[in-house]
Amino acid sequence: MADFRAITRQGLWANNPALVQILGMCPLLAVTTTVVNGLGLGLATMVTLVLSNGTVSIIRDWLKPEIRIPVFVMVIAAIVTAIELAMNAYVHDLYLALGIFIPLIVTNCSIIARAEAFASKNALLPSMLDGFMMGLGFTLVLVVLGSMREILGQGTWMADAHILFGEAARSWKVTVIDDYKGFLLAILPPGAFIGLGVLIAIKNVIDARGAKAVRQMPEPIVAGAEAEARA
Amino acid sequence: MSRLFRTATSPHVTTSNSVTRVMMTVFLALIPGIATYVWLFGWGVVINILFAILVALVCEGGMLWLRKRPLKPFLSDGSAVVTATLLALTIPPLSPWWITLIGVGFAIIVGKHLYGGLGYNPFNPAMLGYVLLLVSFPREMTSWLPVITFSQHPLDFTQSLSYILGGHLPPGLTIDALSEATPLDSLKNNLRQGNTIAEIRAQLGLDDATSRMLSIIPIFGNFGGKGWEWVNFAYLLGGLFLIWRRIIGWQIPVAMLASLAGMSLIFYGVNGNAYVSPMFHLFAGATMLGAFFIATDPVTAATSVQGRLVYGAGIGILVYIIRVWGGYPDAVAFSVLLMNMTVPLIDARFKPRVFGHLK
C-alpha cells in the first residue's frame, strides 16, 4: 500500500518536477509570461499526467520491457491529442495563446519520467494520485513564475483571465503597479531563467533551514529510553 | 628564519601590484575619456557616474554582508567603482536614476556576487548590466544626446540633476525633443532607407556652421562619428597609458581593433557606398572603450597570449557583424558577452607551453 501522504509530499515539494527534477523546462520557461498562460498549460499538463499515469498503470503488467518507451509515448501522444482538441473546442483563445506548447506536452520529460519511474511499478490509484500531485506541483511553479514575470514585466496580475475562465473573468485583472512602464526583461526568455533560478534558490534555502532545525532538535527522550531498554 | 634566506623560491622580483592599484590605474586612465565625454555631451555623465558608484558600493557592501565576507578589503579594492564607472559611461547621459540603479544593481548583485564575487564571474558585470538595460528599456537606453554645441537646449548641471533624479525638464522640453540618434544609429537608419554613403555624407557630413544653420545633427566628424570620435580618441589615449603601465596586455585591444578594421576595410573596399569606412567604425560608438577597458577585464577575458588574440579578434568580428547586419546600432556589449562564453574553450585550446615540455 503506497503512502498517499508521501506521494503528495514528493509531488508538491520534495521531488517537484520543476524545482527539483528540473524537467519540462521548455514549456515552463516559454509560456510563463502571464499567470493565465502558465495556469492553462499547467492544468493541461496535470490532466495529461493523471490520465497517462493511470493508463500506464493499468497496462503495466502486459508491457514487455523492451518496447515500454514507445508504448508510453503513444499513450501520452493520444492523451495530449485529445486534450489539444478539447482545448481548441472549449478554450479557443487559450489554445491560440499557448500555440505549439500544447502538442509539445507530449515531449515534456516529466510525463514520461513519471510513467517510467512510478506508474509502471504501482497500482492504479497511487499512480493517478502521483500524476495529480506531480502535475499540481508543476502547475504551482508555473503560476508562481507566471505571477513574478507578469507583475515585474507589465505590472498586472491575472490579465486576460477570460481566455481560460470565460467572459466573467475579464474583470479579474489586478493592476499591481499603476502607470508602470514595463520591465521587458521579465517577459523575455532571460527573465524566465532568472526567475526559475530564484525560485530554486528559495526552495533550497527553505530546505536548508529545515534540515538545520532538525539537526538542532534535542535528542528525543524516547530514543534514550529505548536504547537503555535494549542495552 | 634569518633575513638572508627570506626569498627562498621564485619569483624573486616582485612589484607592488594589487587589485586596488590596478583598479585605480584603470580609473585614472578613464579620466581623459570621461572629461571629453562631459565636455561634448554635458553634465549628465558626471551625475550618472557618481550615482552609479554610490549604488555599486551599497550593493557591494550589502552582498558582502549577506555572504559574510569582510567588508573593508573588498569595498576598497575599487573593482565595484570601476564596474559602476564603465556602466555609467555606456548609458545615455540623461538617464533617469532608476536606470542606473537597476543596471548597476544587476551588475554587482547578479553579474558579480551570485557567481562568487570578484575573480569568479564568467561575464563582464558592467556589460551584463548594460545589456539588461538595453533589452528591458529600449526607449530610455536610446535617448542619446547630440553634441552639446548642436543641441537646441543644452542643459546645465542643475537641470541635468533635476531630470536624472526627479524627471523634471525645463518647461516646454521633453526628452524626445532633446535626444538624437547616435551617429551609428543614424547611419544604420539611413542605410536601411536605401541611401548610399555618399548621399548620407552629403547631407549629414557638412561643416558645423552649415549644419547648425540648417539645424541638422551631423553624424560624420573629421575622422569618425561626430563628437564620438573625440571621446573614442581620449579612450584610446587612456588605453595606451594602460598598456604602457602594463595594466593590460596589448593583445586584446590590438586584435579587436585590427579585426574590426580588417572586416570594415574588406567591405568598404568592395562597396564603399554601402559600407562605411574603417575609421568610422574605429572612432564611433563604444569601440575604444570596449577595446581597452571592457574587453580587457582580467577576470572574464582569455588569459594566454594566443588566446587573447583569438578572443579580441572574435569581439572585433562580432562587433562588425552586429553593427552592419544586426538589429542594434552598436554591439560591443553583446560581442564581449558572447566571447566571454567562449573563454573556457579558448583557454583550453591555447594553453601556453609549459617550460620543459615539448609541444
Please report which confidence band the pLDDT of residue A172 belongs to, taking 50, 70 and 90 as the band edges: confident
User: CB–CB of A11/A137 below 8 Å?
Assistant: yes
pLDDT for residue A209 is more than 70? yes
Residue A189 touches partner B, C-beta closer than 8 Å: no
Say how many C-beta atoms besides its own lie within 10 A of residue B252's C-beta: 28
Instruction: Assess A179–B contact: CB distance below 8 Å, yes or no.
Output: no
Whether residues B34 and B89 fall in one domain: yes
Query: Would you place residue A170 in the very low, low, confident or very high pLDDT band (cuts 50, 70, 90)?
Result: confident
Both B127 and B257 in a single domain?
no
Same domain for B318 and B194: yes
> For chain A, what is the mean pLDDT?
87
Judged by average pLDDT, the poorest of A17-26, A57-66, B15-24 is B15-24
pLDDT exceeds 50 at position A1: no
User: What is the Cα A230 distance to its own chain's centre?
Assistant: 46
Whether residue B322 sits in one domain with residue B189: yes
Amino acid at A223: A
Q: pLDDT tens, B166-180?
A: 888 888 888 888 888
Minimum CA–CA partner of A186 in chain B: B136
Asked if the model's pLDDT at residue A198 lies above 50, the reply is: yes
Assess whether pLDDT exceeds 80 at residue A149: yes
Q: Is residue A194 less than 8 Å (CB to CB) from chain B? A: yes
Task: Establish if A224 touches chain B: CB-CB under 8 angstroms.
Answer: no
For residue B173, give how far its alpha carbon lies from the nearest alpha carbon of chain A (Å).
20
Q: Which domain holds residue B85?
A: 19-176
Residue B355 lies in a domain: no
Q: Which residues of chain A from 107 to 146 reach within 8 Å of chain B, CB to CB? A: none
The per-residue pLDDT for A2 is 56
Residue B249 has pLDDT above 70, yes or no: yes
Which three cell numbers, joined as nine digits, stand for B334? Answer: 553583446
Query: Is residue B11 included in any domain, yes or no?
Result: no
Number of domains in chain B: 2
- Tell me what pLDDT residue B11 has: 65
What is the model's pLDDT at position B264?
A: 95
pLDDT on residue B150 = 83
Q: Do B250 and B170 belong together in one domain?
A: no
Check pLDDT > 60 for residue B285: yes
B140/B91 Cα distance (integer angstroms) = 9
Q: Do B137 and A181 touch (CB under 8 A)?
A: yes
Mean pLDDT, chain B, as a whole number?
90
B356 lies in a domain?
A: no
User: Which pLDDT score is estimated for B307?
Assistant: 94
Range in A180-189, B235-244, B320-329 the model is least confident about:
A180-189
Domain boundary residue, one of B129, B150, B176: B176
Q: Which residue has the higher pLDDT, B6 or B79?
A: B79
B122 — pLDDT class (breaks 50, 70, 90) = very high
Residue of B nearest to A185 (CA): B136
Residue A55 · residue A141 · CB < 8 Å: no
B196 and B311 fall within a common domain? yes
Contacts of B135 in chain A (CB under 8 A): 184-185, 188, 190
Rounded mean pLDDT of B64-83? 90
Domain boundary among B144, B176, B208: B176
Q: Does A200 touch chain B if contact means CB atoms closer than 8 Å?
A: no
Examine the domain organization and report whether B161 and B231 are in the same domain: no
- Per-residue CA distances from A97 to B199, B232, B279 (Å): 46, 47, 48
pLDDT tops 50 at residue A150: yes
- Whether residues B172 and B53 share a domain: the answer is yes
Q: Is A181 on the interface with B (CB under 8 A)?
A: yes
B135:A185 CB<8 A: yes
Higher pLDDT, A3 or B127: B127
Both B194 and B295 in one domain: the answer is: yes
- Please judge whether A194 and B138 are an interchain contact, meaning their C-beta atoms are less than 8 angstroms apart: no
Residue B81 falls inside a structural domain: yes
Indicate if the pLDDT at residue A48 is higher than 50: yes
Query: Do residue B154 and residue B122 come from a single domain?
Result: yes
Q: Place B267 in a pLDDT band, splitting at 50, 70 and 90.
A: very high
More confident residue, B122 or B210: B122
- Long-range CB pairs of B113-117 (<8 Å, 24+ gap) are B113/B60, B113/B63, B113/B64, B113/B67, B117/B63, B117/B67, B117/B69, B117/B74
**With an 8 Å Cβ cutoff, are B136 and A183 in contact?**
yes
b/e A98-129 (16+ beta carbons within 10 angstroms → b): beebbebbbebebbbbbbeebbbebeeebbbb
Last residue of a domain, one of B176, B200, B228: B176
Alpha carbon of A19: minimum distance to chain B alpha carbons (Å) = 19
Mutate to test the interface with B, among A152, A179, A185, A188 (most CBs of B within 10 A): A185
Of B110, B135, B137, the CB nearest to A188: B135
Chain B residue closest in CA terms to A154:
B136
- Shared domain for B276 and B337, answered yes or no, is yes
Q: Select from B321, B354, B352 the least CA-distant residue to B335.
A: B321
Provide the shortest C-alpha distance from residue B145 to chain A (in Å): 22
Taking contacts as CB-CB distances below 8 angstroms, the residues of chain A near B138 are: 184
Is the pLDDT confidence value at B119 over 80?
yes
Query: pTM here?
Result: 0.86
Q: How confident is the model at residue B232 (pLDDT cuts 50, 70, 90)?
A: very high
pLDDT over 90 at B75, yes or no = no
Per the structure block, which three cell numbers stand in for B88? 555609467
> Nearest CA to CA, how far is B188 from chain A (Å)?
24
Closest CA in chain A for residue B132: A185
Is residue A76 predicted with pLDDT exceeding 70?
yes
Percent of chain B with pLDDT over 70: 95
| A175: β partners | A156
Asked if ipTM goes beyond 0.85, one says: no
pLDDT above 70 (res B8) = no
